[in-house]
Amino acid sequence: MRTFNKYDLGLLVLRVGFSVFLLLHGIEKFETIFSSNIKFANPIGLGPTFSLILVLFAEVICTILIIIGFKVRWASIPPIILMLVAVFIVHQGNSIMERELAVLYLVAFSAIGILGGGKYSVTN
């Protein structure tokens, strides 16, 4: 019989909570991929279309994997990279308060990457 573990429950709340909110950002951007004239930021010079695809991968695919708990450590890497770009390139020169949301996501997904999926995940 499996015993209740508040550490794993806390990790589940962290995983699902932050991933759902980042997923909502991705869903909001998803319709952009189907527009004929993609207007999206190009912060690292890969082109707006490819940048949008990478962002959607991090915000939609990876967050779904993290929510269900599949390969959580690997799936957390793209959101971490995305938030590093947001904090240090996209919002460069902005105050810390204007970077706050990206920093919070960076901290959360870094913790998720370090801790893994925990007991309440598909692959633990």
Structural domain contains residue 120: no
Confidence of residue 36 (pLDDT cuts 50, 70, 90): low
Give the range with max mean pLDDT: 4-8, 55-59, 120-124: 55-59
Beta strands in 4-104 (DSSP E): none
Structural domain contains residue 51: yes
Structural domain contains residue 1: no
Cα pseudo-dihedral 93, 98, 100, 105, rounded to 10: -80
Share of the chain above pLDDT 70, in %: 95
Structural domain contains residue 124: no
Helix-helix angle 6-30:48-56, to 10 degrees: 150
Structural domain contains residue 121: no
Structural domain contains residue 122: no
Domain total for the chain? 1
- The pLDDT assigned to 123 comes to 82
pTM of the model: 0.88
Query: Residue 50 sits in which domain range?
Result: 6-36+43-115
Confidence of residue 22 (pLDDT cuts 50, 70, 90): very high
More confident residue, 34 or 63: 63
How many Å apart are CA 95 and CA 67, to the nearest integer? 31
For residue 4, the tally of other CB atoms under 10 A from its CB is 7
